[in-house]
Structure 1
Amino acid sequence: MTAIAKLIRIHSFQLDEKRRELKKLEDQAAKIEEALANLINQVEAEKKLSYESLEAQRDYPNFIQFAFEKRDQLNKDLTAARGLIETAREGVAEAFAELKKYEIVKQKYDNEIAEELDRREQMDLDEVALNNHRLRR
């Protein structure tokens, strides 16, 4: 395995790790968004219940205060998660660019080797043809 192939393998692994981390962060953000949606549904259900029951009306202000605090905390968590996601996306883009750079270098190297082999093969064929031409004279 050539040095460039080892570098490609290492950077490919690093890119995969960064993608996994990004996926994990996106999953966390999705869970927070789901918790926000559940909280909204819970508030609506509690609101309906408070219209129907005196006991629920009495507890509704405490519940709504708790719900607002929880909503604020979830929004803060979501904002932080989105910041981390953006940073992770930048990391993935950088890792991809680095990997691509090594892949391009390897491709150029492989092309140069192939061209050199083709050139040598053509030289051998030219020599054989020249010798055949000399022998026919």
Structure 2
Amino acid sequence: MKSRDTLLRLKRFQVDEKRRQVVQIETMIAEFERMATDLDREIRHEQDRAGIHDVAHYAYPTYAKAAMNRRDNLKRSADELVGQLTDAQDALAGAFEELKKVELLEERDGVRERTAETARDQAEMDRIGLGRSEMRAG
């Protein structure tokens, strides 16, 4: 039973670890998207300040070009993280299924033990009862 307890703790740890990974990736995606949105705002502000919105224009603001590159890199990174998030969610689902299997085995063994204990208790009570009835009869 000790090994089952250890296995149960291990499976719970694995589920918690996978859950942390999913949350971490979701947080990174949200942060990248927030940063990209901030850069969009800065790009628009810089374009409005310069009065030039055409990227191909010779006087287009250099800062706006650099901000666009950073924004595009952030969006690419967020897109890559979405793939990793899907993988992490699948791994979490698999770890959760394994945990449930071990928990069901633990529960089944617990029911079996309680049933056996109840049967032993009942047998002991029957033995005590028989012993008392024999003492009265004798």
What TM-score do the two structures reach when normalised by structure 1?
0.83
Deviates more, 1:127-136 or 1:33-42: 127-136
Contact 1:15 1:96 survives alignment (8 Å): yes
In the alignment, what sits opposite 1:54? none
CA distance in 1, matches of 2:59, 2:42: 14
Bigger fraction of residues in helix: 1
Q: How does 1:4-83 map to 2 (within 5 A)?
A: 4-51=4-51, 59-83=59-83
User: Which shifted more, 123-132 or 88-97?
Assistant: 123-132
Listed as ranges, the gaps of 5+ residues in structure 2 are: 52-56
Equivalent position SS for 2:12:
helix
Q: Which runs of 5+ in 1 are unaligned?
A: 52-56
Of 63-72 and 26-35, more deviation after overlay is shown by 63-72
* 1:99 aligned counterpart, secondary structure: helix
Instruction: Give the secondary-structure state (helix, strand or coil) at the position aligned to 1:60.
Output: coil
Shift of 1:111: 1.5
- Give the equivalent residue in structure 1 for 2:112: 112
Note the aligned Cα RMSD (angstroms).
2.2
Aligned to 2:96: 96
Distance 1:82 1:44 in 2: 27
The separation in 2 between residues aligned to 1:59 and 1:31, in whole angstroms, is: 32
Shift in Å at residue 39 of structure 1? 0.9
For residue 7 of structure 1, report the CA deviation from its aligned partner: 0.9
Matches within 5 A, 1:126-137: 126-137=126-137
The two structures have a TM-score, normalised by structure 2, of: 0.82
Opposite residue 92 of structure 1, the aligned amino acid is L
What letter corresponds to residue 92 of structure 2 in structure 1? V
Q: Choose between structure 1 and 2 for higher RCO, CA contacts under 8 A separated by at least 6 residues.
A: 1
Inter-partner Cα distance in structure 1 for 2:72 and 2:29? 15
CA distance in 1: counterparts of 2:122 and 2:60, whole angstroms: 88
Q: Is the CA contact 2:32–2:78 (under 8 Å) kept in the aligned structure 1? A: yes
